[in-house]
Amino acid sequence: MAGQPLKYYIDLLESGELVAFPTETVYGLGARADNPTAVKKIFDLKGRPTDNPLIVHVSNRAMVSAFARNIPESAKVLMDKFWPGPLTLIFKKKDQVLDLITAGMDTVAIRMPDHDTALSLIDGAGPLVAPSANKSGRPSPTLPQHVRTDFGESLPVIEDQPTRIGIESTVLDLTEEPYCILRPGAVTLEQIQEVIDHPVVLTRDKKRLGEEETRSPGMKYTHYAPRASVRWLSKTETDIMPTCLYLIHSGHHPLLEENTDKNTPPSIINYNQDYDQLARELYDRFRQADQQGFKQIAIEAFSEKTLESRQITVALKNRILKAIGK
Ligand code: TXA
Ligand code: MG
């Protein structure tokens, strides 16, 4: 399917087919948001529970009004600042939005991806619902090859580079007070709070306050998991297990000190505080570890200081905890 003009994929979408396409976060599995048969195919193909709603992807602000019942002033500020980009906003929905998209809830999630191909595709085909283009429970795809591994050669995939960010968008619920980050991502709580006065909290903070279970249904499922078991690497661990892949990010773990540059085995990966690169590569590492037969993936735990100073780490920790199964 590689190398077809964009019109080819737009026609497929218009005739009710699914098309996988790149975004800046991960590859998405797209269907036209106004075609219930096509939307249903997404759930069937992914093996996705129908109580897990989908994100509507738009290429301009006018498209938002077709789905959102009202657009609060602070949403406009957030769209000005972060769109196109990895921030999904949740609004009260209009009646005509398909129930399948919103899992029967009265809210709808919308984002504008920061990717030229994705934007042109949406310009041509109209708003697209697109979950990550992986089988449910598998790590999200950051390369076209990941999509083919999960769905085979028959699914049309628009080929592109590895995705720039590598983990899924921040999901921000604007329908209740305080605004709530249901899924952390590359757009951070601090960045959001810098531009709007409304109080914003992370779901986990709400939980700490004894409030309800997460409002984002997708977050209750085990996600992003490779077959190898994922665990935190302790600060003092010095024995190398041959069947374990080690991902180190602080740059100074005893495993690195004991194994100087020359003899560091290939199973120890040193990100040397490049957390953006770790985010870009995490899901591919998960998938490769399975292919290479690793039984375990040990990832250095994040210190409190790291979580404060580099906010992509909040999203990374969230995804790693999901893979661990917590
Ligand atoms: O970066 C991304 O957001 C990628 C790319 C392809 O755009 N998409 C993505 O979609 O990650 P998906 O379906 O894998 O994750 C969507 C998340 C789920 O956790 C889902 O529960 C939540 O968004 N969500 C969707 N609509 C919602 C709603 N109305 N209320 C609360 N959560 C919602
Ligand atoms: Mg997903």
The reply to whether ligand 1 has any atom less than 6 angstroms from the CB of 172 is no
Phi, psi (degrees; rounded to nearest 5) at 311: -75, -15
CA torsion sign, 205 to 206 to 209 to 212?
A: negative
Q: Relative to the alpha carbon of 22, which ligand is closest?
A: 1
The reply to whether ligand 1 has any atom less than 6 angstroms from the CB of 23 is yes
Distance CA 282, CA 299 (A): 10
Distance CA 265, CA 259 (A): 8
Q: Could you tell me where the DSSP H helices lie in the chain? A: 6-14, 36-46, 61-64, 73-82, 99-102, 116-125, 144-151, 189-195, 203-208, 254-258, 275-291, 304-309, 312-324
Distance CA 23, CA 46 (A): 18
Residue 127 · residue 39 · CB < 8 Å:
no
Going by C-alpha positions, the residue among 282, 283, 286, 248 that lies closest to residue 265 is 248
Provide the token pair at 8: 């080819």
pLDDT of residue 1: 45
Distance CA 81, CA 101 (A): 26
Going by C-alpha positions, the residue among 48, 170, 150 that lies closest to residue 109 is 170
pLDDT of residue 186: 97
The fold of 6-202 is DHBP synthase (3.90.870)
pLDDT of residue 208: 46
Mutate to test the pocket of ligand 1, among 51, 55, 176 (most ligand atoms within 8 A of CB): 55
**Interhelix angle for 116-125 vs 6-14, to 10°?**
40
Q: Could you tell me where the DSSP H helices lie in 154-224? A: 189-195, 203-208
**Interhelix angle for 312-324 vs 275-291, to 10°?**
20
Cis-peptide, bond into residue 84, ω within 30° of zero: yes
- Residues in the chain with pLDDT values less than 50: 1, 208-214
The owner of tokens 């009260």 is 92
Mutate to test the pocket of ligand 1, among 102, 105, 214, 216 (most ligand atoms within 8 A of CB): 216
What are 179's strand-pairing partners?
Answer: 200
Distance CA 21, CA 28 (A): 5
User: How many angstroms is it from 114 CA to the middle of ligand 2?
Assistant: 18
pLDDT tens digits for 201-248?
998 655 544 444 445 665 555 556 788 999 999 989 988 999 999 999
Across the beta sheet with 244-248, what order do the strands follow? 229-233, 296-300, 244-248, 268-270
Distance CA 86, CA 152 (A): 27
pLDDT of residue 228: 94
Closest-lying ligand 1 atom to the alpha carbon of residue 48:
13
How many residues make up the chain in this entry? 326
The reply to whether ligand 1 has any atom less than 6 angstroms from the CB of 90 is yes
Query: Could you state, in order of their start, the residue ranges of all structural domains in the chain?
Result: 6-202, 229-324
User: How many angstroms is it from 325 CA to the middle of ligand 1?
Assistant: 19
DSSP-assigned states of every residue in 42-69? HHHHHT--TTS--EEE-SSHHHHTTTBS
User: How many angstroms is it from 214 CA to the middle of ligand 1?
Assistant: 13
Residue 165 · residue 86 · CB < 8 Å:
yes
